[in-house]
Amino acid sequence: MSDAAVSPAVPEDEAALATPFVKCLVRLIRAQDCHGSWEGKRDAELLGDFIITKEQRRAIPIIGDPDPDVLWRLDKFYAAVGLAIEERCGLMASPMMEMSHEGFGRVLFTAGRLVVLSKTLRDVHRFGFETFWKLAAAGTKLVGDAIAAIDAYPEVARA
């Protein structure tokens, strides 16, 4: 966890943490805290491991197998995308993920008969974002793309 991640001093970080997408992500992570051990932690601390600085990224081998922790974060990230889609349009978008052990794969969200989102996954072992803002922007963009697809084919999404 980088220092910048633990203490978000910049207003941009505060704004990122206030986006609906990041709030969904935090909610999902806190839901895993069965024993209340994260209650004293701030959101920025909980999300710290999602942040990988340029230096940290350079230190990760180009090819590598994703470890369980990074897979957990990837899972939470896409679950938050699904939750944020539901929050915005009331339709449940269920995710489906397919991945090789090397971290290549695909994630698909469907609502009714509509593929609301389809994304290729690669370099999953290096999954992370440079800043909170980039994390928020990436999630928010996926949610926006899904909403646009639902708006384009509303009857298919409800079929």
**Contact residues for its own copies, defined by CB under 8 A:** 96-98, 106, 108, 110, 112-115, 118, 149, 153, 156, 159
Least CB distance from residue 42 to its own copies, whole Å?
Answer: 34
Nearer to its own copies by Cβ, of 10 and 152: the residue is: 152
The C-alpha angle with vertex 5 and arms to 56 and 53, in degrees rounded to 5, equals 20
Tokens coding 91: 């339709």
Which phi and psi angles does 93 have, rounded to 5°? -105, 110
CB nearer to its own copies: pick between 114 and 136: 114
Minimum distance between the CB of residue 140 and its own copies, rounded to whole angstroms? 21
Name the minimum Å distance from CB 115 to its own copies: 5
Nearest to 27 by CA among 19, 101, 158: 19
